[in-house]
Amino acid sequence: MPQFFRQLSSFTGVGLLATALHYGVLIGLVEVLRAAPPAAAVAGSVAGAALSYVLNRRHTFRSKRPHRRTGVRFALVALVAAALTYAFMSLFVNGAGVPYLAAQVVTTGIVTLWTFLAHRIWTFA
């Protein structure tokens, strides 16, 4: 159980960094380039996922598996995460009229749970 909590706390720290990058891209694209929030959220998700892969592979899960294996699995989880991000952002922003940053906060919580479990059980197992 101690390994689980170490992984969870490390995943949280990495997640904060990746989330900061994600939100920076999201806000920049929406506010500066006037991009649609769901598309901008996906772009932010991709940027955050790239940072997350590097840091989680090395620090959180300490994986020694080859990049070709973990990279493909990580990419598949990230694709599902991006699809979930787009779906929830579209639902909240376009369907319910929620402001995009509030929608992203809720979406981040949902997607974070999915990614931690998927990476722990499948990607870096």
Largest CA distance in the chain: 46
Burial class (CB in 10 A: 0-12, 13-18, 19+), 74: buried
What is the rounded average pLDDT of the residues 7-30? 94
Q: What is the pLDDT of residue 67?
A: 84
Compute the distance between CA of residue 68 and CA of residue 74 in angstroms, rounded to an integer: 10
Taking the CA atoms of residue 112, residue 90, residue 100 and residue 23 in that order, the dihedral angle to the nearest 10 degrees is 40
Q: Express each pLDDT in 21-79 by its tens digit.
A: 999 999 999 999 999 999 999 999 999 989 999 998 888 888 888 888 889 999 999 99
Say whether pLDDT at 1 is over 80: no
Q: pTM of this prediction?
A: 0.78
Instruction: Look up residue 8 and give its two tokens.
Output: 């969870």
Q: Express each pLDDT in 71-124 by its tens digit.
A: 999 999 999 999 999 999 999 999 999 999 999 999 999 998 898 899 889 988
Range of the domain at 114: 2-123
Domain count for the chain, please give it: 1
Q: What is the pLDDT of residue 59?
A: 87
Q: What is the pLDDT of residue 4?
A: 86
